[in-house]
Structure formats: C-alpha cells, structure tokens
Amino acid sequence: MKTKIKEYRGRYNLTQERLAELVGVRRETIIFLEQGKYNPSLRLAYNIARALGASIDEIFIFEEGED
C-alpha cells in the first residue's frame, strides 16, 4: 500500500512528530506508514485522513494484487 501522508504533511507544514501527536501514535508508526511498511486500522487511517484534511482514499492508495 502506498500513502500520500508525506505529501499532505508538506502542505500543512506538519512534522512527523506533530502528526503523530495529532492522531495519538508514535512517530515510528508515521515513518513506517509513509514507507508503506505498515497497514493501519480503519480508525487510524480515518484519523490521519481527517488530520490531513483529506479522505482516506486520497491518502492511502491500495494497489491491486496486494494482500
């Protein structure tokens, strides 16, 4: 799964630390999400999308053929 978290963070000048605080997770979680190495729960995906002022499918791009 690819994400546009980094891109959207840039728009709002949000650091990983600040976004992590906003959605109540650790910075490492944001890092691994940005690298596509962690699949978030629907709740976390929703919280991140809301914090970045976008919808879930704008932030998280699910690629065909993935588990």
Partner 1 sequence: MKQRKALLAAIIIAVVLMVALASTRQYYIAIALGVEVLLVFRREIWHLGRYRRLPPFDERFQENAKKAARNSFIYMSVATVFLMLAYAINVDYVVDYEPFQVLGWLLISGGLVYLLGYIFYDRVEPKLRERELKRYWTFLRIAGIGFGCAITSIFLHNVIGRFVGIEEPVFFVIGVLLAPTAMGVGLVGSLVYFIKGLLRKQLPEINQPDDERIQP
Residues forming the site for partner 1 (CB under 8 A): 6-7, 9-11, 13, 15-17, 20, 24-29, 31-32, 35, 37-38, 40-41, 43-44
Residues 6 or more apart whose CB falls under 8 angstroms from that of 23 comprise: 44, 47, 48, 51
- Considering the complex, state which of residue 37 and residue 64 has its C-beta at the smaller distance from partner 1: 37
Please state the closest distance from residue 57 (CB atom) to partner 1, in A: 19
- Considering the complex, state which of residue 7 and residue 58 has its C-beta at the smaller distance from partner 1: 7
HSE-CB at 10 with a 13 A cutoff on CA atoms is: 6
- Considering the complex, state which of residue 26 and residue 55 has its C-beta at the smaller distance from partner 1: 26
Q: Using an 8 Å Cβ cutoff, are 1 and 65 in contact? A: no
Structure tokens at 4: 């546009």
